Amino acid sequence: MCLAIPGKIVSSELQNGIRVGRVQFGGITRETCLDFVPEASIGDYVIVHVGFAISLVDREEAERSYEALEAMGLLNGELESELEESQAEQ
Amino acid sequence: MKYLDEYRDEKIARGIVAELGRRATRPWVLMEICGGQTHTLMRYGIDEMLPAGIELVHGPGCPVCVTSLETIDKAIEIASRPDVTLISYGDMLRVPGSRTDLFHVKAQGGDVRVVYSPTEALKFARAHPARKVVFFAIGFETTAPANAMAVWQAKREGLGNFSMLASHVLVPPAIRALLGSRRNRVQGFIGPGHVCTVMGYREYEELIREFRVPIVVGGFEPLDLLEAILMLVKQLEEGRAEVENQYVRAASYEGNLLAQKVLREVFEVCDRKWRGIGGIRESGLNLREEYSAFDADRIFGTEGVAADEPAECISAEVLQGLKKPMDCSAFGTRCTPENPLGAPMVSSEGACAAYYRYRRHALTAKANR
Ligand code: SF4
């Protein structure tokens, strides 16, 4: 139950003085309280837990860390194939 | 889906594992605190991919699992009253109390309902003014602001038929209790990413000063966890003990200040008993005096309920990373997700349930040997 997952804000309105939006997770959409993330707007990705957005997903950080991970994976892939070639040569 | 699928790339995962193999020169014992992380580690078999010698033990970070037997018994007592509707998160229904569980109370006609969000409990209370609506509020710091918001709204609206049985627990005091134990084996922690999204990771600096143990705040996807493990191993191999943040895309040093504000407005820190572990000082959150009119424990006079835990369940050792679920004699036989003896077998974030679901093959292999 402690799961929190990223979803995309597709709408936002005020209900009883509280900011509520619809957030899309893959195929499903859920009503979500946006009061803790005033900086988030429609189209942004937020991390949602028990119906409350607890954080905006920082796009740059998400992409930066993914690229860093990717670079590491590719680099290691190259090292491995070099190793295989040199073994094959022997 | 965006910002989810990317973090499941197998090629990158293998790259990180290879890097880990180059870095690790000796065995290390690491603990992930959060049950959500335990679930990912088991589901993707990350524990089995790691170089030999890097051992993962699983922490007490499943709120369903650590909610005390007393609290479950209180919920059962309250839910058995004809004028009450008890509303909870789904997993709580099957957690065994001393004599029965909420699911049986419901089967016998008790009005027990499951929601995804505390907001739904509020809505139900508004729509049914004749019912006494009790929200069974469990969770770590991640969940506390949402639950706090429900009480804050109820007070603002003067919603007299809504109350809360609060059983919140806090992560840093639990880490302190683990590290302070003579039996501790853990040398580095994967910090709970979503708890830190709310609270920030400032609080963990004190633990590092006190115990000189590295903590890396980690996310919940396979690559997040592998990267956090690599960051921990690098620190350990270099003799460093710092708090580092792997989950930069959501967690920050300060955390979510608005969520913290609501949390502090409604809750205050209290001593709390953890199922399987026992009492930990200043490790919980209870409603403040100003909100006592919403405190179900007072309203229904259940403060005195006490309970002893069954002996066969070794969840105490499992939750402290001292034993694996397979070491329990009841695992997979007398204790299964259908008929749980202990709470860690109930929730999909509980270590026993995660092992049952994803590691049963290892158990069969052991039996066939
Ligand atoms: S397998 Fe069941 S009885 Fe054994 S420790 Fe886990 S929850 Fe307790």
The pTM for the full model equals 0.90
> Min CA distance, B365 vs chain A (Å)?
31
SS3 for B367?
Answer: helix
- Give the amino acid at B353: A
Higher pLDDT among residues B335 and A59, named by residue = B335
C-beta separation of A4 from A56 below 8 A:
no
C-alpha B83 chain-centroid distance:
31
Instruction: Tell me the C-alpha distance between B279 and B141, whole Å.
Output: 18
Torsion of CA B147, B151, B152, B157, to 10 degrees: 140
What average pLDDT does this structure show over B247-253?
A: 95
Please name the residues in contact with B101: beta carbons below 8 A apart, sequence gap of 6 or more: B72, B76, B93, B94, B95
State the closest ligand 1 atom to the C-alpha of B342, by its place in the atom list counted from 1. 7
Ligand 1 center from residue A30 Cα (angstroms): 35
Beta strands in chain B (DSSP E): 28-34, 54-61, 84-89, 111-115, 132-139, 162-169, 188-192, 215-218, 243-245, 267-274, 278-287
Confidence at residue A2, expressed as pLDDT on a 0 to 100 scale: 57
- Chain A residue numbers touching B9 (CB-CB < 8 A): 69-70, 73
Ligand 1 center from residue B324 Cα (angstroms): 10
Ligand 1 center from residue B41 Cα (angstroms): 19
Q: Does B36 touch chain A (CB under 8 A)?
A: yes
Q: Does A28 touch chain B (CB under 8 A)?
A: no
Q: Which CATH superfamily is domain B65-169+255-298 in?
A: HypD, alpha/beta domain 2 (3.40.50.11740)
What is the percentage of chain A residues whose pLDDT exceeds 90?
49
Chain pair A-B, CB pairs under 8 angstroms: 144
Instruction: Tell me the C-alpha distance between B19 and A51, whole Å.
Output: 38
Which tokens sit at B275? 């199922």
- Is A4's CB within 8 Å of B197's CB? yes
Ligand 1 center from residue B344 Cα (angstroms): 6
- Chain B residue numbers touching A26 (CB-CB < 8 A): 1
C-beta separation of B39 from B153 below 8 A:
no
- Chain A residue numbers touching B63 (CB-CB < 8 A): 1-2
Class of the CATH-defined domain B5-62+171-245: alpha beta
Burial class (CB in 10 A: 0-12, 13-18, 19+), B91: buried
Please name the residues in contact with A70: beta carbons below 8 A apart, sequence gap of 6 or more: B9, B12
Confidence at residue A90, expressed as pLDDT on a 0 to 100 scale: 36
What is the percentage of chain B residues whose pLDDT exceeds 70?
97
Q: CATH assignment of A5-85? A: 2.30.30.140
Q: Name the pLDDT band for A81 (thresholds 50, 70, 90).
A: very low
- Chain B residue numbers touching A43 (CB-CB < 8 A): none
Q: Where are the domains of chain B?
A: 5-62+171-245, 65-169+255-298, 315-368
The answer, yes or no, to whether residue B369 has pLDDT greater than 60, is: no
Residue nearest to atom 7 of ligand 1 (CA): B342
Confidence at residue A84, expressed as pLDDT on a 0 to 100 scale: 42
- Is A80's CB within 8 Å of B18's CB? yes
